[in-house]
Amino acid sequence: MTRTPEEIDQLFDHLANELEHSPDDPMHWMFNVVGADEAGLEAAGQKGVEVWQEFGRSVDEDAEFEVGLAENVEHKDDGSTVESLVLCFQAIGTLSAEQIKALAQHVEAYAAEHGLTFEDLDCTDATDWDEYMDWMSLEDAQWRLSNLTDSGVPAGAPLPYVFAITATERTTLESVAQALADAGHEDSEIHSDPDEPEDVGLIVRVEGKNDADSLAASFASIESVVRDGAGELLGVQFFDDNAEDDLEDDAG
């Protein structure tokens, strides 16, 4: 369901009074549209990019406006998930309640014009993706787990842990990898930057779960072996195999 102007005012009151959000801090706003298969949503999105950006700039010339398909994953109490696609009209900036109302009205009209439904409006802090995807300390990673739980990921749900390790010599990483294998962490890979062969790193994958104690145990086990082997543990991340390819260069 869409947000009424009154509900948008209430949302801004909640952000300011309950979450202590400053109006000077940018937010990532997502106007979600449903009602068609992937092809239908993609066609509506392609037609709507220029229209959305032009209208958005008329509302706030400093904000960023994007359109794209997003996968919505609903986590059930029994641990199962239901996946669906949404067409997401996005606005990133320091937008006021009145500006969000104007954007919401525009999305609702565009959706109706194309036989779709403006389902809902979501917002999050604007994400610094370089920082978000960086290797995390244990404390930061446990905080990320709590956010995942708050966003609907069931406690204890499977969640791969990926650790990054570096050292000054490849031979050191080879010794660390063997020691990790002896400790039960056999899924690892040494890689290097083709342009800088001396820049090497070790990626270690662990079958984890959304549980702070489980993460702490894995972190301590990895850290102990790495420390004894004269390596350096850069931190941990949570992502799938597709995302790993984008991060491996950062382990060196």
In this structure, how many other beta carbons lie within 10 angstroms of the beta carbon of residue 9?
Answer: 15
Same domain membership, residue 118 and residue 142:
no
Separation in Å, CA 39 to CA 31, 49, 92: 19, 16, 26
Same domain membership, residue 151 and residue 222:
yes
Contacts of 97 (CB under 8 A, 6+ apart): 8, 9, 11, 12
If pLDDT is split at 50, 70 and 90, which confidence band does 248 have? very low
Per-residue b/e over 48-73, b at no fewer than 16 CB within 10 Å? beeebeebbeebbeebebebeeeeee
Residue where one domain finishes, among candidates 127, 156, 188 = 127
Same domain membership, residue 92 and residue 206:
no
Run of H or E residues at 57:
helix 38-59
Distance (Å, rounded) from C-alpha 177 to C-alpha 187? 9
Same domain membership, residue 121 and residue 37:
yes
If pLDDT is split at 50, 70 and 90, which confidence band does 105 have? very high
Same domain membership, residue 146 and residue 98:
no
Distance (Å, rounded) from C-alpha 219 to C-alpha 2? 43
Residue type at position 123: C
Which residue reads 């244990």 in tokens? 138
Q: Confirm if 247 and 132 have CB atoms less than 8 A apart.
A: no
pLDDT in tens, 146-177: 878 876 788 899 999 999 999 988 899 999 99
Same domain membership, residue 205 and residue 104:
no
Residue where one domain finishes, among candidates 107, 127, 147 = 127
pLDDT in tens, 7-20: 999 999 988 888 88
Same domain membership, residue 169 and residue 120:
no
The percent of residues above 90 in pLDDT, for the chain, comes to 57
Same domain membership, residue 141 and residue 37:
no
The percent of residues above 70 in pLDDT, for the chain, comes to 85
Same domain membership, residue 144 and residue 170:
yes
If pLDDT is split at 50, 70 and 90, which confidence band does 79 have? low
Q: How many CA atoms lie within 13 A of 142 on its CB side?
A: 11
pLDDT for res 127: 55
* Mean pLDDT score across all residues of the chain: 85
Number of structural domains (the chain) is: 2
Residue where one domain finishes, among candidates 99, 127, 155 = 127
Domain around 33: 5-127
Distance (Å, rounded) from C-alpha 34 to C-alpha 78? 25
Q: What is the CATH classification number for the domain harbouring 233?
A: 3.30.70.970
Same domain membership, residue 235 and residue 142:
yes
pLDDT in tens, 171-229: 999 999 999 999 999 999 998 755 555 567 999 999 999 999 999 999 999 999 999 99
Same domain membership, residue 153 and residue 88:
no
pLDDT in tens, 31-49: 999 987 888 899 999 999 9
If pLDDT is split at 50, 70 and 90, which confidence band does 247 have? very low
What is the pTM (predicted TM-score) of this model?
0.55
User: At residue 82, does pLDDT exceed 60?
Assistant: yes
Same domain membership, residue 82 and residue 50:
yes
